[in-house]
Amino acid sequence: MALNLCTSPKWIRTTVFDSASSSKPSLAASSSSSTTSFSSSILSSKSVGLQRLSLKRNVGVSVRSSLETAGPTVTVGKVTEVNKDTFWPIVNAAGDKTVVLDMFTKWCGPCKVIAPLYEELSQKYLDVVFLKLDCNQDNKSLAKELGIKVVPTFKILKDSKIVKEVTGAKFDDLLAAIDSVRSS
């Protein structure tokens, strides 16, 4: 059985419990994640951060980070697509982390040009949450609430408040704005 622990957005750990093994925990590292094996006798009851887990044999348990509990999974190093229902819960769960929102449309040429560069930024800044919102009819109310006038528009949030905005596909301006908010 596996227990996925995201103790920090930068480090994702996967803990695997081997009920057949009675050996002590061992640690093996790989480039993308770490795997730790424990015997089931050690893990009948284990505390993880502020959550307490009671584990039974043959039961899969997944513990999500505060960023993941709000809805869709937020993956470090990737851009997460949000909608009017998932945006604010994810932003609120991010706490004091910097959140960058790309507001785009599928028909927008400049949006298509900057999208791969935005994805690269998400891989570079692992301490920042990168989101994207398709400003279609379904998400019109959120786009209006956020005050979008042109696409692409990038909103940078900290502590659930918009602190910077970059309009247009201006990569250098976006990079400077992210660096400015991260350092504050």
pLDDT digits (tens, 9 = 90+) for 146-163: 999 999 999 999 999 999
* 38-52, 74-88, 141-155: the lowest-pLDDT one: 38-52
Summarize pLDDT for 114-141 with one digit per residue, the tens.
999 999 999 999 999 999 999 999 999 9
Does residue 6 have an active-site annotation? Answer: no
| Sheet bearing 26-29, strands edge to edge | 26-29, 34-39, 11-18, 2-8, 61-62
For the cut 70, the answer to whether the pLDDT of residue 184 exceeds it is yes
Does residue 135 have an active-site annotation? Answer: no
Topology given in CATH for the domain delimited by 79-183 = Glutaredoxin (3.40.30)
Model-level pTM?
0.63
Q: How many CB atoms lie within 10 A of CB 135?
A: 21
- Residue carrying the six token digits 């042109």: 150
The one catalytic residue in 99, 100, 101, 111 is 111
The one catalytic residue in 1, 12, 63, 108 is 108
Instruction: Return the domain boundaries, the chain.
Output: 2-62, 79-183
